[in-house]
Every structure is written in structure tokens, then in C-alpha cells.
Amino acid sequence: MTDPEIHKGLAGVVVDTTTISSVNPQTNSLLYRGYPVQELAAHCSFEEVAYLLWHGELPTPEQLVAFESLERSLRRLDDRTRRALDDIPASAHPMDALRTAVSQLGGLDATLQQPDSILDPELNEGRALYLFAQLPAIVAYIQRRRRGLDPVEPRDDLDYSRNFLWMTFGEVPDDVVVDAFRVSLVLYAEHSFNASTFTARVIASTLSDVYSAVTGAIGALKGPLHGGANEAVMHAFEEIRTADRAEEWLDAALAEKRKIMGFGHRVYKNGDSRVPTMHASLVVLADHYDRRDLLDLYDALENAMGERKNIKPNLDYPSGPAYNLMGFDTETFTPLFAAARVTGWTAHVFEQYAANSLIRPLSQYTGPAERHLER
Ligand SMILES: CC(=O)SCCNC(=O)CCNC(=O)[C@H](O)C(C)(C)COP(=O)(O)OP(=O)(O)OC[C@H]1O[C@@H](n2cnc3c(N)ncnc32)[C@H](O)[C@@H]1OP(=O)(O)O
Ligand SMILES: O=C([O-])CC(=O)C(=O)O
């Protein structure tokens, strides 16, 4: 018998079709429902992008007004969610707190108690919108609690991005900051069958519910080989400190066989299509906050990594320092990614439900040959 071909990490394996996004490393493009992500980042609100991912088309002006007003009505945290978050030590990682809160939202959704409601498309659209509206409030609550600050109530006169920043910082920053934040959310929203989205699809494929799928996806996103890298980039910058130390730091890290966070990608091997757009926002922020030193460090590490390994940055590389300049705690960077990606995760859960096949691959057994108990 010939050994089966093993696709470790499922690298290069096409497991299903999707109509949600297309990642093309040859043309270095990323399309959401056919639209280049750069165009969406330049012209669309995050609410429009969420609508597009869920519905396949951008909203009409009337549809957008209705969608925005529904989202604004769902922003307030339930006291039970606050209590669940308060029960977790403030020193716990924000991704752990976020995962717990989302799991609890599932338990609080009484409609899930009817087993035939789990796959109901209309109810699921409402659940996805609820998660979309709640995640900013949860993330803001976590960051403020870490800082010993009282929560800030949402404002329904503000769009999604402004309200997110308002709830986190208690003020709405300048438009250039809001815009950089919005751009990051649009760029993070969706990326085909990445590890966290695939996790969500695996969970959905068992016909489990949308909250379970999102809870699992948050767990997958936390790891530093995936979403946890935006936080890890900032930790590396803190270790390096100044641009002139970047080469020495990198050589030592590579000698220790460390992975350099924010570099490399499973699909893009010649650069991540989103990096130029996020880098442009980072430059605007660095000018705004007069932090040229951070850009110098960014460039120095990127150049050194290019020279030593010819490995290019991924989206987490510019996003990490951008979130730092906006004032977020480093540990909340990955929860920001989750708040954006919940749009893509839920779009994929719906696609999985609509044409489901249980996801269950095979493995080749390499353990001991059959043996028997000696008793
Ligand atoms: C938004 C996102 O989630 S994007 C991904 C965010 N993650 C990171 O930034 C973490 C750092 N990057 C990595 O660990 C990897 O590039 C991954 C996991 C993202 C992709 O990995 P894979 O496609 O599996 O490639 P793989 O890890 O096999 O790398 C191929 C080679 O490049 C090297 N390499 C790839 N990325 C890096 C890196 N960031 N630092 C150092 N070496 C790297 C590997 O060591 C390997 O070298 P080898 O062939 O000598 O063993
Ligand atoms: O696609 C991937 O493997 C990682 C990811 O989520 C992204 O790059 O946004």
C-alpha cells in the first residue's frame, strides 16, 4: 500500500469554494465580493463593508441607513456581560476576556434554545449584527478596565469607527486618526480560509451555532502565527527600541531561530496586498503624532528582514504600530482584529451552512502497530 500524500498544515489544499473574497498572490490582489480592498478602504465606511460581506452587494442609501440604525441600537453592553468581564482578572489577556464574553452572549441568546433556530438565516443575520455591534463595546470595556477607568457608554450619533474610539478613550480623536482606524478595520475584515475563519467553518460544519463558531475563531486568532502577531510586532519594537539597533536585534533573533512577527504569510510570498494601504495610514499617524522615530524603526527592521531573509511584512506589521500610535494597549491589538474579522467569520459561517458538508479530514496513523494487553 502506498503512503497517502500528507498536506501538513493543509498548505496548498483547496477545501471548498467561496464567493466572499479572493486572495490572489500572483496579482497581489484581495477582492471582497469582487471589489478590490484598496477601493473599499478608500471609499467605504466599515458598516458598508460589513453589509457587503454579509449580503454580497453594497447597501443602497436606504439599506445603509436602516443597517446603521440597527447597529447603533445594539451597542450597549448587558449588565451580565459586564459582570462576566469583571469576573476575569484585569491582568488576563484581552483575547481571553473577549472569548469568554462572546461565549456568554451565546448562552444569553434565548432563541438558541430552539434547536431549529440555530440555522435560521434571518436569526443568524441578527446574531451576526449583534456580535458586530457588541465587540467594540466589549473591547473598549476591557481596555478601560485594564487601565482602572470607568466604562464609557456608546453614542448613537457616531458611526461605528468613531463610537469605537469614543468608548475606548472617552473622546473622538481627529479625523486622520479615525480614518486610519477605519482603514485598518476594512483591511482586517476578511481573508478567505485563514486559520480563524477555517476554525469557524469547521465548527459551523457540525451545525453548531454562530456564537460557538465565533468563540472558536477568537481562540484561533489569538495565536502569534495568526492575529496575535500584531501585538507581537509591538513587543519586538519595544525590545529593539531604536532604528539603529534593528539589524543587531534581527541577527540575534534569527540566530535563535525566532520567527519575526509581522513578516511572512502562508498565501502571499511576494508581499501582502494590504500592507501599502495600511503603511500609508501609519505614515499619516506618525506625522500626526510627530513620531518619525517609529517609522524609522519600522523601515529599518523591514529592510534588514528583506536583506537577510527576503521575507516581506504582512498586515500585522503596519497595524501594530498604527494601533500603538492611536493609543491602544498592545494587548488589545488582536481584539481589534477580532472586532473587524467577525464580519468575515460570520459571512463564512453562513456560506458553510448554506452548502454544508461536515469538515473531517483523514490522517495517516504512524503510532505503534497493533498490540495487545498482556493480562
Ligand atoms: C494577519 C495574519 O494572520 S498574517 C500572519 C501573521 N503571523 C506572523 O506574522 C507570524 C510570523 N510569520 C510566520 O510565522 C510565517 O510566515 C507564517 C506562519 C505566517 C506563514 O508560514 P508558512 O507559510 O507555514 O511558512 P513557513 O513557516 O513554512 O516559512 C517558510 C520559511 O520561511 C521562514 N519564515 C517564514 N516567516 C518567517 C518569519 N516571520 N520569521 C523568520 N522566518 C520566517 C521559515 O522559518 C521557513 O524557513 P525554512 O524553510 O528555512 O524552515
Ligand atoms: O490569510 C491568512 O492566512 C492570515 C489572515 O487571516 C490574514 O492575512 O488576514
Catalytic residue among 209, 272, 316, 329: 316
Q: Give domain status of residue 307, yes or no.
A: yes
Q: Which atom of ligand 2 is nearest to the CA of 221?
A: 6
Task: Check residue 28 and give its pLDDT.
Answer: 87
Tally of structural domains, the chain: 2
In a domain, 343, yes or no: yes
- Closest C-alpha among 174, 164, 171 to residue 140: 164
pLDDT score, position 233? 98
Kindly state whether residues 320 and 335 are assigned to the same domain. Answer: no
Q: Whose CA is nearest to atom 34 of ligand 1?
A: 264
- 368: Cα within 13 Å, side-chain hemisphere: 3
- Report residue 178's pLDDT band, with 50, 70 and 90 as the boundaries: very high
State pLDDT tens for residues 181-191. 999 999 999 99
One domain for residues 268 and 216: no
pLDDT for position 3: 86
Cell numbers for 264: 511572512
Cα–ligand 2 centroid distance for 266 (angstroms): 8
Q: For the domain that residue 189 is a member of, what is the CATH number?
A: 1.10.580.10
Residues 6 or more apart in contact with residue 193 via CB below 8 angstroms = 15, 16, 18, 201
Query: Is residue 117 located within the same domain as residue 150?
Result: yes
Per the confidence metrics, is the pTM higher than 0.90? yes
Given ligand 2 and candidates 22, 24, 191, which is best to mutate, with the most ligand atoms within 8 Å of its CB?
191
Q: What is the ipTM of this complex?
A: 0.98
pLDDT, residue 373, reads: 97
Q: Which ligand is nearest to the CA of 191?
A: 2
Average pLDDT of 200-206?
98
Please, are residues 67 and 76 in contact by the beta-carbon 8 Å criterion?
no
Residues 95 and 202 in one domain: yes
Catalytic residue selected from 265, 272, 279, 348: 265
Residue 299: give its domain's CATH number: 1.10.230.10
Q: What gap in Å lies between CA 26 and CA 3, rounded to an integer?
A: 32
Q: Domain range holding 78?
A: 21-222+331-355
What lies within 8 Å, CB to CB, of 182 at 6+ separation is 45, 46, 161
Query: Quick check: is 43 catalytic?
Result: no
Q: Does residue 33 share a domain with residue 135?
A: yes
Atom of ligand 2 nearest to the CA of 265: 3
pLDDT of 242-283, one tens digit each? 999 999 999 999 999 999 999 999 999 899 999 999 999 999
Same structural domain for residues 65 and 204?
yes
Residue 38 lies in a domain: yes
288 as an active site residue: the answer is no
- Of all ligands present, the nearest one to the C-alpha of 226 is 1
The ligand placed nearest to the CA atom of residue 227 is: 1
Whether residue 263 sits in one domain with residue 168: no
User: Which residues, judged by CB distance below 6 Å to any ligand atom, belong to the binding site of ligand 1?
Assistant: 9, 224-227, 229, 259-266, 309, 311, 314-316
